[in-house]
């Protein structure tokens, strides 16, 4: 995606991020590592579509923090873990720009949100 003639770059491998539209949701994805970067409002809407809220996270230390992919930022991303049914997903977030999910992590988090919503309905 281009912002003021500068590209948003993958925090993992430096490739230019590409805009992706899935239904009404727009976000950026790395064509190489298949990671995804979402604005918080998009992540919240996806979680709501799964029937729940964005799951709570716990901060963890990253030996080498990733940098925000925004060309106007490049601050270190905060590493957080999201408890899942089986294990955890690690995500990296920028307070101003969004959340980075490594390949498969977004799907795992959305699955957790959906399963939690189903469990809450059955109570």
Q: What is the pLDDT of residues 23-56, one digit of tens each?
A: 999 999 999 999 999 999 999 999 999 999 999 8
Structural domain that includes position 106: 2-122
Span 50-91, pLDDT tens digits: 999 999 899 999 999 999 999 999 899 999 999 987 789 999
Average pLDDT estimate for 14-21: 96
Contact criterion met (CB below 8 Å) for 29 and 17: yes
Q: To the nearest whole number, what is the mean pLDDT of the chain?
A: 92
- Residues belonging to the chain: 123
pLDDT tops 50 at residue 2: no
Contact criterion met (CB below 8 Å) for 97 and 70: yes
CB atoms within 10 A of CB 63: 5
Q: What is the Cα Rg of the chain in Å?
A: 15
Question: Does the predicted model carry a pTM greater than 0.85?
Answer: yes
| Overall number of domains in the chain | 1
Q: How confident is the model at residue 5 (pLDDT cuts 50, 70, 90)?
A: low
């Amino acid at each position: 995606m281009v912002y003021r003639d500068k590209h948003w770059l993958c925090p993992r491998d430096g490739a230019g991020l590409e805009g992706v539209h899935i239904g009404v949701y727009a976000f950026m994805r790395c064509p190489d590592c298949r990671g995804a970067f979402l604005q918080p409002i998009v992540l919240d809407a996806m979680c709501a579509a799964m029937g729940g809220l964005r799951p709570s996270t716990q901060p963890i230390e990253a030996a080498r923090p990733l940098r925000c992919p925004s060309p106007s930022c490049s601050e270190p991303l905060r590493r957080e873990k999201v408890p899942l049914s089986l294990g955890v997903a690690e995500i990296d977030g920028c307070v101003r720009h969004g959340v980075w999910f490594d390949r498969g992590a977004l799907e795992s988090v959305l699955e957790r949100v959906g399963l939690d919503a189903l469990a809450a309905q059955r109570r």
